[in-house]
């Protein structure tokens, strides 16, 4: 399958023709994406879809969006929408992404990409059979400061990487919120833990050959706290921690044979880090970022270039991430209601 977009409706070749976004869901991250898209000259937010007309109307009114749809199906059927941003809970990602792809829309889907690797494979198959762009919204991998950290590591500024440590824990106590609901694929790992787990994968440019995790579950069976260690083909190791029960430092540290890089919190969209080289004064670095706008701009650039996927957040990377998350969940004993034992996470 060639990585080429086939589109006979709209000319996406020039930034003078804005890509028209439809927003699927009306939660916090959807609001943040609309604000980010409004900072880009070549993007337009033309529609929103929700589970009810009332919530869609409310969101559309707040952000002055022309079309408010009472369902995801209606959003996908909107001829004015070119690309759908899936911002729903993890439990809905697969079905919503496939529906949009089958309707001929390009899709940017929030992380975690799906509930498990099996669903991720279905989404990728849908993108390929429809010749449409699909990307996981792993914004960290597009943040300029994080990209520069990776560049410095690749150039050998701190020697060979020995270890990477990252943590992301928040106090999210609402028992009825999506984070603590197994039916919505809740838990710390897919929402928060994906950042410390994959941070090492991004900066090293490789996925682990082994991972060992321990965790504590809530009474409803989702992961409240997870910690683990992973080893990589290069010889590096990483440690990661995530929890719904307390606020952590939210930083990251990369240690090499000739120095280290301390990434200021929040490490997943940092604008500051400090390079420590053996025998030299620390080098503080500040690289401001525009948050979600970077991943949106990247997706549009790839679509305009005629590509079916990102060259940064590749579909293969998203599949490897889901397999890694499946492995960790299996080790701590998290199974979502939609999954039939281990078969649900097969991929």
| CATH number for position 49 | 3.40.50.720
Q: Are residues 242 and 167 in the same domain?
A: yes
- Pick the closest to residue 13 from 86, 82, 67 (CA basis): 82
Judged against a pLDDT cut of 70, whether residue 247 lies above it is answered with yes
Band (340; pLDDT cuts 50, 70, 90): low
Q: Are residues 175 and 306 in the same domain?
A: no
Q: Are residues 188 and 298 in the same domain?
A: no
Tokens describing residue 302: 């790839």
76 to 24, 163, 222: CA distances (angstroms): 9, 44, 31
Please check whether residue 281 lies inside any domain of the structure: yes
Rg of the chain over CA atoms, in angstroms?
20
Q: Are residues 69 and 151 in the same domain?
A: no
Please check whether residue 198 lies inside any domain of the structure: yes
Q: Are residues 112 and 196 in the same domain?
A: no
Q: Cβ(164)–Cβ(141) under 8 Å?
A: no
Across 186-192, average pLDDT: 96
Q: How many domains does the chain have?
A: 2
Please check whether residue 223 lies inside any domain of the structure: yes
Please check whether residue 343 lies inside any domain of the structure: no
Average pLDDT, the chain: 93
User: pLDDT digits over 37-92, tens only?
Assistant: 999 999 999 999 999 999 999 999 999 999 999 999 999 999 999 999 999 999 99
pTM of the model: 0.93
| Residue-wise DSSP of 296-333 | HHHHHHHHHTT-SS-SSS-HHHHHHHHHHHHHHHHHHT
Residues of the domain holding 303? 19-140+294-313
Neighbours of 265 (CB within 10 A): 15
Judged against a pLDDT cut of 90, whether residue 14 lies above it is answered with no
Phi, psi (deg, nearest 5) at residue 129: -70, -25
Judged against a pLDDT cut of 60, whether residue 342 lies above it is answered with no
Q: What three-state secondary structure class fits 52? A: coil
Q: Are residues 130 and 161 in the same domain?
A: no
Tokens describing residue 21: 């976004």
How far apart (Å, rounded) are the C-alpha atoms in residues 78 and 49?
Answer: 10
For the chain, count helices (H), then strands (E): 10, 14
- Residue 3's pLDDT is what? 59
Across 133-137, average pLDDT: 98
Band (15; pLDDT cuts 50, 70, 90): low
């Amino acid at each position: 399958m060639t990585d080429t977009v086939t589109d006979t409706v709209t000319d996406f070749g020039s930034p003078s023709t804005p890509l028209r976004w439809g927003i699927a869901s009306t939660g916090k991250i959807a609001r943040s994406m609309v604000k980010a898209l409004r900072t880009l000259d070549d993007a337009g937010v033309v529609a929103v879809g929700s589970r009810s007309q009332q919530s869609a109307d409310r969101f559309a009114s707040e952000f002055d969006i022309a079309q408010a749809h009472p369902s995801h199906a209606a959003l996908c059927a909107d001829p004015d929408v070119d690309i759908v941003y899936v911002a729903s809970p993890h439990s809905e990602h697969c079905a919503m992404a496939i529906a949009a792809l089958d309707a001929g829309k390009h899709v940017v889907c929030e992380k975690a990409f799906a509930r498990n690797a099996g669903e991720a494979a279905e989404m990728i198959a849908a993108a390929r059979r429809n010749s449409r762009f699909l990307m996981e919204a792993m914004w960290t991998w597009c943040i300029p400061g994080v990209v520069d950290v990776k560049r410095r590591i690749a150039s050998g500024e701190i020697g060979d990487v020995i270890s990477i440590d990252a943590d992301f824990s928040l106090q999210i106590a609402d028992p009825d919120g999506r984070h603590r609901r197994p039916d919505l694929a809740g838990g710390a790992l897919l929402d928060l833990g994906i950042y410390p787990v994959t941070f090492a994968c991004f900066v090293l440019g490789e996925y682990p050959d082994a991972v060992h995790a321990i965790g504590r579950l809530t009474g409803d069976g989702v992961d409240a706290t997870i910690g683990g260690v992973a080893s990589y083909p290069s010889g590096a190791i990483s440690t990661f921690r995530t929890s719904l029960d307390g606020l952590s430092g939210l930083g990251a540290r990369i240690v090499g044979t000739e120095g280290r890089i301390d990434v200021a919190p929040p490490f997943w969209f940092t604008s500051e880090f400090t390079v420590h080289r053996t025998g030299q004064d620390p080098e503080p670095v500040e690289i401001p970022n525009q948050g979600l706008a970077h991943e949106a701009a990247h997706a549009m650039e790839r679509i305009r270039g005629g590509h079916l996927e990102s060259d940064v957040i590749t579909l293969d990377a998203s599949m490897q991430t889901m397999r890694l998350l499946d492995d960790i969940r299996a080790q701590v004993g998290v199974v979502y209601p939609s999954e039939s034992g281990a078969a649900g996470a097969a991929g």
